[in-house]
Amino acid sequence: MNKNERIKWAAAIAKRISDEWDGSKQFPEDAALLREYLQKTLSKDGDAIKSFIGTGIIESDYFKNI
C-alpha cells in the first residue's frame, strides 16, 4: 500500500469510527479530536489499515462505490 492509499484509507476509517462513536453528537469537538488522531496514526501503519478493511468498520469496496 503506497502513501497516498494509506492516507486515503486512514481518512475514511477515521471518519467512520469517529462518526459512529457514541459521543460524537454530544461532544463534536472530541469526535474531531478522535478523527484527527486516528487518521494521523493509521496513515503511518499500513498493517493496521489492512486489518480494518473488509470489516464492519469499512467495506473492502468502499472507494469503488464512490
Please report, in angstroms and rounded to a whole number, the separation of the first and last CA atoms in the chain: 20
Q: What is the pLDDT of residue 56?
A: 94
**Is 62 part of any domain?**
no
Per the structure, how many domains does the chain have? 1
Q: How far is CA 54 from the centre of its chain?
A: 13
What pLDDT digit, counting tens, does each position of 6-47 carry? 999 999 999 999 999 999 999 999 999 999 999 999 999 999
**Is 18 part of any domain?**
yes
Band of residue 65 on the pLDDT scale cut at 50, 70, 90: low
Band of residue 3 on the pLDDT scale cut at 50, 70, 90: very high
Q: What is the pLDDT of residue 66?
A: 55
**Is 58 part of any domain?**
no
**Is 19 part of any domain?**
yes
For CA atoms 29, 30, 31, 36, give the dihedral sign.
Answer: positive
**Is 35 part of any domain?**
yes
Domain of 41 in residue numbering reads as 3-52
